[in-house]
Structure 1
Amino acid sequence: MSRLRGAATALALILAPIFVPTGAPAQVSDEVVKVGVLTDLSGPYADFAGPGSVAAARMAAEDHGGRVLGKPIEVIGGDHQNKPDVGAALARRWIDTDRVDMVIDMPNSAVALAVQQVGRERNRIIVNTSAASTEITGRQCSPVGFHWVLDSYALTSGITRAVMGQGGKSWYYLTVDYEGGYAQERGSEAVVNALGGKVMGRARHPLNTADFSSFLLQAQSSRAQVVALANAGTDTVNAIKQAGEFGLTKQGQRLVGFFVNITDIKALGLPTAQGVVSVDAWYWDQDEETRAFAKRFAERHKGLMPTQYQAGVYSGVRHWLKAVEAAGTDEAMAVAAKMRALPVNDVFAKNGQVRADGRHVHDVHLVEVKRPEESKGPWDLYRVVATIPGEQAFRPLAEGGCPLVKP
């Protein structure tokens, strides 16, 4: 019972419903269409998801007009505390008691997989935006489950190929000790082996590690050309900062981050992070539309630019609301069919497609952190090196093992 009470207290950032008049008839299960943003509000993933994800979801509700099928849209937020049991319990409470119609975000793959199972059992749409495991659309795929932004395949395969093409043949992995980290490591290692490279070693570290010195010493002594960070959030920030203190890059090793976000680079500063290579699905400074969205977001969220995952929450909520309108109901299976049928066209993606396994396929970008003298402003942090088409960035449909995909 204490765990359930803890999950209940995690119901935070409850945002008021947004009302805009409309004449559409109601075809929904109750008097409110409710979105639950299940995220990390205060832990290692709070900066790239967290309260900013809740803000992005609210923007999506407002931009849809505040109502869908004649009913008001309400957005609530809750903290899964990076614990699968807490996340699953909170999702069940939201669905069974609070009548939540869709759950989105879920940084932390173990939490995401647990919540996707709840959605399958309860027939509710689950949209994972911030988790990395390809199992979400692989063997554990769900008819009402979706993966919206990046996964471990997209995070690792393109960047590994690019770095190997530039001469990085030997690799050492510094990996967070849970499924999201393992998946990143596996995806990159498969490419290294396929292209004739060599894995020099690996080290596993606990989530939310403050001191990486012993792990970095192992990476340094391996003499690998590339040290790859298969982690995220504050773990990535701490690892990059301490790698600089150990002089890894000065000694010729290249630092690659599989799950780097713009908030990480901002926290580190360009003198420390310059030259780090990563993959990003969305960058605020791409064009006039993204810059306008980023400005609106910053006005709501402490002056911060949105991360790719927060922009993905906006996109996932918008697409779900469009699908509810198109289906004429909020019933999960009917809405899921429309989500797969409709193209994704918004500030996050152009002509994105949702496959049978629930994978949203869209272009992604290979980016490199700028040198301090190249930056023209406080958030001018990336140089886009290349754009990888979605059909190349994501795992082929036939290779995932999703039971929903017919041979």
Structure 2
Amino acid sequence: MRVVFSRRYAMAIAMASVAFAAPALAQTKDKNVKIGVLNDMSSLYADIGGPNSVVAAKMAVEDSGLAKKGWTIDVISADHQNKPDIGANIARQWYDIDKVDMITDTPNSGVALAVSNVSKEKNGILMNSGGASADLTGKQCTPNTISMTYDTYMLAHGTGAAMTKAGGKTWFFLTSDYAFGHALERDTTAVINANGGKVVGSVRHPLNTPDFSSFLLQAQASKANVIGLANAGGDTTNAIKQAAEFGIVQGGQKLAALLLFINDVHSLGLKTAQGLTFTVSYYWDHNDQGRAFAKRFQERARNHEMPSMTQAGVYAAVLHYLKTLEQMGGNPHDGKMVVAEMKKLPTDDPVFGKGSIREDGRAMHPAFLYEVKKPSESKGAWDYFKLISEIPADQVAVPLGESTCPLIKK
């Protein structure tokens, strides 16, 4: 049987199709964006993120130039207090009530993992800069999350490998007892073993520990060549200060600050921090682009500080996000869709330079192994690091062939 459609019926179908398509078309042309900076505003990670991450995000908004093109972009912030449940609840409120499109920063891997799950549930976007766990782009990866700055794999294969190859064959870990510390100890142990070293012991300490004496005594008694600090922020600086009081380095053991920020060195002073080896993906004095960005940042930053690696990462994350939305012609308010487009667009910013984002959500750009200068080597304030070596972009993250990310097709 042959069915014949009348011209009037055909026109009705065509008009209905346009009607259904119109909302979607209007949605993609929407030029309203809301960004949430979620981090530690008041505790041990406030210096590496905190209010200055908000400064970095607002700089990226300005540098995008979208406001002059008719876009409305709001930046809000909140303190997750280093508690995953609080971070997750803020994320839900932001997505459901405040209509936030993208969340960024999230130092504290426990919080980052929780917010990543909420972002997937709500089809939002997490552009992680502060959370270090490689699991964010590994076994717990999602199509809504990007890790922009660094991870525990990078730290382990930078600092851990360098110190083991330099003769640090036995290690004892002081590990922060939450997701980040566990992942960093795990990834560094794998590197130590692969390079012929051995972990002779470890001890886990609570987050934000004021007294490291009992942990340091155990590390000292182990007689390990290297005491690996699998912690960050205030925990790292407190451990280093107290290790100096115990004369641990003078006694022949070395400290491995597996995650060290410029703010930590500024707090410690070169006399205490000199000689520490560590890995970062950004240092303000590495090149002309980085220096120009840092100078602008410092003028606006709280206490006129130089940007940490993660604050720089927030800038890069927000800038790439906004470039992607501009290329899309508007904001579709569809996290999974936007993340897919961000992965297609090469990254290019004054912080990390040119790079890319893999299908697992890991941003790929070089990392650098540095050593803290002696006081006599520094030319002035914030001149703290000297370059040892560069780690190519294709070596900073878990090879895709070894990835446990379910997004990777094998």
TM-score, shorter chain, exceeding 0.5: yes
Read off the aligned partner of 1:84 and give its amino acid letter. P
The answer on whether the counterparts of 1:28 and 1:69 sit within 8 Å (CA) in structure 2 is no
Greater per-residue helix proportion: 2
Q: Are 1:402 and 2:405 counterparts? A: yes
Amino acid at match of 2:397: F
**Percentage identity across aligned positions?**
51
Aligned to 1:165: 165
CA deviation vs aligned residue, 1:44-87 (integer Å, no higher than 9, x gap): 10000111111100000011124397321111111111111110
User: What residue in structure 2 maps to residue 322 of structure 1?
Assistant: 323
Instruction: Give deviations 1:317-365, integer Å, cap 9, x for gaps.
Output: 0000011111223232332122101111111222211000000011000
Deviation at 1:228, TM superposition (A): 0.7
Is it true that 1:294 corresponds to 2:294 in the alignment?
A: yes
Partners of 2:288 and 2:222 in 1: CA distance? 45
> Normalising to structure 1: TM-score of the pair?
0.92
1:364 aligns with 2:367: yes
2:102 equivalent in structure 1: 102
Residue 8 of structure 1 aligns with which residue? none
Tell me, yes or no, if the aligned pair for 2:30 and 2:330 is still in contact at 8 Å.
no
Contact 2:133/2:151 (8 A) holds in 1: yes
Name the structure 2 match of 1:311.
Answer: 312
Q: Contact 2:45 / 2:107 at 8 angstroms: preserved in 1?
A: yes
Alignment-mate amino acid for residue 63 of structure 2: D
State the secondary structure of the residue aligned to 2:347: coil
Q: Secondary structure at the match of 1:352?
A: strand
Secondary structure of the corresponding residue to residue 384 of structure 1: strand
Q: Residue 281 of structure 1 corresponds to which residue in structure 2?
A: 281
Deviation digits for residues 2-46 of structure 1 (CA, Å, limit 9, x no counterpart): xxxxxxxxxxxxxxxxxxxxxxx9755866311000010001100
Q: 2:384 matched to which residue of 1?
A: 381
Equivalent position amino acid for 1:343 in 2: P
**Residue in 2 that maps onto 1:185:** 185
Please, which of 318, 329, 337 is the counterpart of residue 340 of structure 2?
337
Query: Distance in 2 between the 1:157 and 1:286 partners?
Result: 20
One-letter amino acid of the counterpart of residue 328, structure 1: G
Q: Aligned partners of 1:28, 1:93: CA distance in 2, in Å? A: 24
TM-score (norm 2): 0.91
Residue 164 of structure 1 deviates from its aligned partner by 1.4
Change (3 A) 1:31 1:63: closer
Q: Distance in 2 between matches of 1:121 and 1:316?
A: 21
Q: Does 1:246 align with 2:262?
A: no
Change in Cα spacing, 1:142 to 1:68, as seen in structure 2 (3 Å) is farther
Partners of 2:137 and 2:31 lie apart in 1 by 32
**Structure 1 Cα separation of the partners of residues 329 and 337 of structure 2:** 9
Do the aligned partners of residues 68 and 28 (structure 1) sit closer, same or farther apart at CA in structure 2, a change above 3 Å counting?
Answer: farther
In structure 2, what residue type is equivalent to 1:308? M
Secondary structure of the residue aligned to 1:351 is: strand
Conserved in 2, the CA contact under 8 Å of 1:33 and 1:68? no
CA distance in 2, matches of 1:270, 1:160: 22
Structure 2 residue runs without a partner (length 5+): 1-24
1:224-239 matches, cutoff 5 A? 224-239=224-239
Of residues 373-382 and 70-79 in structure 1, the stretch that sits farther from structure 2 once superposed is: 70-79
CA–CA separation in structure 2 for the residues paired with 1:116 and 1:329: 24
Partner of 2:357: 354
Q: Which runs of 5+ in 1 are unaligned?
A: 1-24
**Root mean square deviation of aligned Cα:** 1.5
Q: What is the identity, as a one-letter code, of the residue corresponding to 1:317?
A: V
SS of residue paired to 2:45: coil
8 Å CA contact 1:26, 1:70 repeated in 2? no
CA contact (8 A) 2:369 2:391 kept: yes
Equivalents in 2 of 1:99, 1:304: separation in Å? 32
| Counterpart position of 2:3 | none
Distance 1:249 1:26 in 2: 63
1:87/1:111 contact within 8 Å kept: yes
Counterparts of 2:167 and 2:98 in 1: how far apart (Å)?
54
Query: Contact between 1:69 and 1:328, CA under 8 Å: does it hold in 2?
Result: no
Question: What is the alpha-carbon distance in structure 1 between the residues aligned to residue 71 and residue 271 of structure 2?
Answer: 50
Supply the distance in 2 between the matched residues of 1:109 and 1:89 (Cα, whole angstroms).
Answer: 16
Distance 2:245 2:308 in 1: 26
- Check 1:250–1:233 CA distance in 2 against 1; reply closer, same or farther (3 A cut): same
Q: Give SS of 1:47's match.
A: coil
AA matched with 1:402: C
**CA distance in structure 1 between the aligned counterparts of 2:307 and 2:347, rounded to whole angstroms:** 19
SS at match of 1:275: coil
- The residue type paired with residue 357 of structure 1 is D
